């Protein structure tokens, strides 16, 4: 009985050894073959040798990737070729990974999978690299050719008047969107490699409406013509005759603002030789000797616009630097001009 049992065990072991050898030989014969169900980027490689798999990937991945990236806008075209993009598809790494997935599991699991026709379900991501800096350079070329900055509206104030140059819209491409689109397509074998550079209009930061608000009121003093012109919302509003500084006490030219205003102001006599005994004194607003009549609009360093009782001086270089006006005119001007208004003296 012992002998029979021993023989039976030995026979069973012998069968296992033979079966193991058969399975090993069967598995070894497929060691250089990619298992069914293994794909790279959706490309089936099952049943192929590494060499055949590499050839298939070269046809279906490498060749499509070598098509240039093309960007269009109107009648302009820009291209990014694979060499400039430094596009690299590591086919060997893809095949090695596919083969490694095919050999997953132990000897018996692989053999059982093969004998029963069970397929793997592995779709591997292709190993493709490119230079993002090259993509950015391409987009920069497109931007340089298409884009233009918005131009702010400007105002010019001179002795001739107030003139405006309207703002101009700019043009910009949707660079971030284009960057994302190219980045998604450059490593894809199926995505379109042709794009349109979409543009959008950009608005100036300063518009003519902004200037109208900023320069709601402008005074232009033309000393040579003895005229003061008032502009409202950048348009001529009123014009008045004036007197300006005499020789040696000229009304200062330049651009200023109305610094302060007063009705029937006191006169703070400047410490100047022309003031004589009045130098440094303060003459009350209701004092007949006060030459600053009715209204005062201060400009700069004691110079301002005021009314005068010397109507004959209007149209002449007659003041000590201030701008004189007829009293009804200065009263009218006073109501129209807020503190902070621009003043240009030519």
Q: Which residues are catalytic?
A: 306, 322
3-class SS shares of the chain: helix, strand, coil, % to 5: 35, 30, 35
Q: Within 13 A of 335's CA, how many CA atoms are on the CB side?
A: 6
**Structure tokens that stand for 301 in this block:** 């360093």
Beta bridge partners of 79: 70
HSE toward the beta carbon, residue 277, CA cutoff 13 A = 1
DSSP code string of 84-102? TTT-EE-HHHHHHHHHHHH
d(CA 40, CA 42): 5
Q: How far apart are CA 210 and CA 153, in angstroms?
A: 8
**DSSP designation for 288:** T
d(CA 244, CA 116): 111
Residue 16 has, within 13 A of its CA and on its CB side, a CA count of 6
* Residues forming beta bridges with residue 72, ordered by sequence position: 77, 196
DSSP 8-state symbol, 150: -
Give residues with Cβ within 8 angstroms of 138, minimum separation 6: 69, 71, 78, 80, 182
CB 297 within 8 A of CB 263: no
In this structure, what DSSP letter does residue 314 have? T
Backbone angles phi, psi at 41, to 5 degrees: 55, 35
């Amino acid at each position: 009985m012992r002998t029979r049992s021993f023989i039976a065990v030995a026979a069973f072991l012998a069968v296992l050894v033979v079966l193991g050898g058969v399975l090993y030989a069967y598995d070894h014969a497929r060691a250089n073959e990619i298992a069914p169900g293994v794909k790279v980027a959706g490309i089936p490689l099952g049943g192929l040798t590494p060499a055949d798999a590499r050839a298939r990937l070269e046809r279906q991945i490498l060749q499509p990737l070598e098509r240039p990236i093309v960007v269009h806008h109107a009648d302009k075209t820009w291209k990014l070729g694979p060499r400039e993009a430094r596009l690299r598809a590591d086919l060997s790494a893809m095949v090695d990974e596919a083969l490694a997935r095919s050999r997953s599991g132990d000897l018996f699991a692989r053999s059982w999978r093969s004998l029963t026709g069970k397929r793997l379900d592995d779709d591997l991501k292709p190993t493709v690299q490119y230079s993002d800096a090259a993509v950015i350079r391409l987009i920069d070329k497109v931007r340089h050719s298409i884009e233009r900055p918005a131009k702010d509206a400007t105002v010019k104030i001179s002795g001739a008047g107030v003139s405006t140059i309207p703002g101009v819209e700019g043009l910009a491409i949707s660079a971030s969107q284009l960057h994302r689109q190219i980045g998604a397509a450059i490593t894809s074998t199926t995505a379109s490699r042709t794009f349109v550079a979409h543009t959008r209009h950009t608005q100036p930061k300063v518009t003519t409406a902004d200037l109208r608000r900023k320069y709601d009121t402008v005074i232009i003093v033309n000393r040579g013509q003895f005229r003061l012109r008032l502009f409202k919302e950048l348009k001529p509003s009123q014009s008045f005759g004036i007197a300006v500084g005499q020789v040696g006490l000229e009304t200062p030219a330049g651009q200023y603002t109305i610094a302060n205003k007063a009705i029937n102001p006191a006169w703070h006599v400047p410490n100047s030789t022309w003031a004589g005994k009045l130098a440094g004194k303060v003459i009350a607003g209701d004092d007949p000797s006060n030459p600053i009549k009715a209204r005062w609009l201060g400009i700069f360093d004691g110079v301002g616009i005021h009314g005068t009782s010397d109507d004959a001086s209007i149209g002449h270089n007659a003041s000590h630097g201030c701008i004189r006006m007829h009293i009804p005119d200065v009263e009218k001007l006073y109501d129209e001009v807020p503190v902070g208004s621009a003043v240009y003296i030519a």
